Amino acid sequence: MLARCFRISARISEVDPLILRLMAAVEPMISAERLLSLELAAIEALTNVVLHGCAGQPDAIIQVELSANPDGLSLLISDPGVPMKDGLFENALDLDQIDPSSESGRGLATIKACADVVVYTRKADRNSLTLTFRSGRNP
């Protein structure tokens, strides 16, 4: 199993550079279409952490662990921000349910649409969000 770890501080300007490093690491291991799903889900998840979970904590460290196995890839995103509400992902609207004229509120739905499995846990005062991307599925 391959594993790599990335870290950034909770600043929005750091999200895209991390995503580019992450994509460079993932690209040889995944189809172009799955690569887009992973990239989009990762952007949305990290943006949520920076803008919501770690809002006002620009020096908080966000960690992204990439692991690969024969069935696909997973990202474990952990941060010391405020806990997510219970059932946040389970209760999030699907993209078809979101008002097309809404200017916000698509992040969670996009993560759900792009990742095969989304698991949130809170341990030792850190949020952990695991996104799993199986080989061969597209949103």
Applying CB under 8 A, among 15, 26, 49, 131 the residue interacting with another protein is 15
- Taking residue 97's Cβ as centre, other Cβ atoms within 10 Å add up to 8
Contact between 100 and another protein per CB under 8 A: yes
Applying CB under 8 A, among 80, 89, 93, 139 the residue interacting with another protein is 139
**Structural contact between residues 12 and 51, judged by C-beta atoms closer than 8 angstroms:** yes
Q: How far is the CB of 129 from another protein (least distance, A)?
A: 16
CA pair distance 19, 75, nearest whole angstrom:
12
Contact between 110 and another protein per CB under 8 A: yes
Beta strands in the chain (DSSP E): 2-9, 61-69, 72-79, 117-123, 126-134
**Structural contact between residues 106 and 50, judged by C-beta atoms closer than 8 angstroms:** no
Contact between 3 and another protein per CB under 8 A: no
Which residues of this protein are in contact with another protein, per CB under 8 A? 12-13, 15-16, 32-33, 36, 39-40, 43-44, 47, 50-51, 95-96, 98, 100-104, 106-107, 110, 113-114, 139
